[in-house]
Amino acid sequence: MLAACLLAASTGCHAIDYYTPSLQSPVPPELEPPRELSKMSLPTYRIEPPDIIRIEVLKLVPRPPYRIEAYDVLQIDVHGAMLDQPINGYYLVEGDGIVTLGPAYGTVYIQGMTIKEATAEIMRSLQLTLQNPHVSLQLARPAAIQAIPGAYMIQPDGTVNLFRYGVVELVGKNVTEAREALEKHLARYFDSPQVTVEVLAYNSDTYYVLSPGVYGDDDIYRLPITGNETVLDAISKVGGLSRLSSKTIWVARPASSDFGQEQILPVDWDAIARGGATGTNYQVLPGDRVYIVEDKLIAANSTIGKFTYPFERLLGITSLGSSMTRSLQLMGRNYNRTRRN
């Protein structure tokens, strides 16, 4: 067994290194990789699932005739009210559809009414306690403004769900196009709506870091990209190089189909980390794979361990069986000695 292990080790049990210098041939100018000190701006970001966006409202004026809803805010001014209890300010339509005007005036139910109907209803109620009141009522803030703003996740079908206002398809759109699509959709319910859109979480554009795992497999980390990461940033996000890692690193970059082969960018780790060199500290682009090769000695040890492990298990079971048999024999002798006594 020992001879077989030594033979396997001497014949080159090591991690397979897929990088060869022949793969790094001159590239077309448009594929020249950006680096730490010569970064490029990423193309216009297109919204995809499962990105998260934030929608804020700048202007939402309901289309007439608007019917008052719960939690609307109304501006009510009444001329001829009591001096010690004026009616002048903002009033909330409560959940049960009423507006409270004050202790002396009570409440008025106005949910579902137009502004004109609500004005007449409030005036009729105030005439019970006031002489010739004049009521001015305006919609200050519709409840819909509070319902729309917030963070939304793009659904798997590429839409965003606005709940009571339906769904809007935003997949493949940039921020400006998404804002225009939302405003066009909300125009069914509001007069010339204005909203803003920003991307909170760029979850659809990612890159990958592949590092050696404990059992000889690769650990894969999927990381979101923000447009400013370099190889040094990528490795720092996975906790740096582990004791299983070598310093052989490269970036595998997806290339266009007319390029004819994969684009491999070798990384000089010592130059980047210790010398501050930027030549191979490439900017990471969407879809890149930063590959870290495992240490060859540790790889050889893992290979030998896989080969010898079944035999160790077998020898361990055999040893355990022998020990158990011996224990049973000794136990039988003591038992017989006890009977004779």
Q: Which pLDDT value is given to residue 12?
A: 45
**pLDDT tens figures, 218-233:** 889 999 888 889 999 9
**pLDDT tens figures, 13-61:** 444 444 445 444 555 666 678 999 989 888 899 999 999 999 999 888 8
**Least confident window among 48-57, 163-172, 211-220, 287-296:** 211-220
Question: According to the CATH classification, is domain 73-141 in 3.40.50.150?
Answer: no
**pLDDT tens figures, 241-275:** 888 888 899 999 887 666 556 788 999 999 999 88
* Three-state DSSP class for residue 269: helix
Q: Which pLDDT value is given to residue 328?
A: 63
Q: Which pLDDT value is given to residue 236?
A: 93
Ranges for all domains in the chain classified under CATH 3.30.1950.10 = 52-62+145-201, 73-141
Domain 52-62+145-201, CATH class in plain words:
alpha beta
Ranges for all domains in the chain classified under CATH 3.10.560.10 = 15-42+205-294
Please give the single-letter amino acid code of residue 276.
G
Q: Which pLDDT value is given to residue 215?
A: 63
Q: How confident is the model at residue 136 (pLDDT cuts 50, 70, 90)?
A: very high
Cβ neighbours of residue 63 under 8 Å, at least 6 residues apart?
Answer: 189, 190, 191
Topology adopted by domain 15-42+205-294: Outer membrane lipoprotein wza fold like (3.10.560)
SS3 content of the chain, % helix, strand, coil (to 5): 30, 30, 40
Distances (CA, A) of 295 to 212, 238, 239, 243: 8, 17, 17, 8
Q: Which pLDDT value is given to residue 24?
A: 47
Distances (CA, A) of 47 to 78, 160, 166, 171: 50, 11, 19, 5
Question: pTM score, two decimals?
Answer: 0.64
CA-CA distance, 225 to 266, in Å (whole number)? 21
Q: Is the pLDDT confidence value at 106 over 70?
A: yes
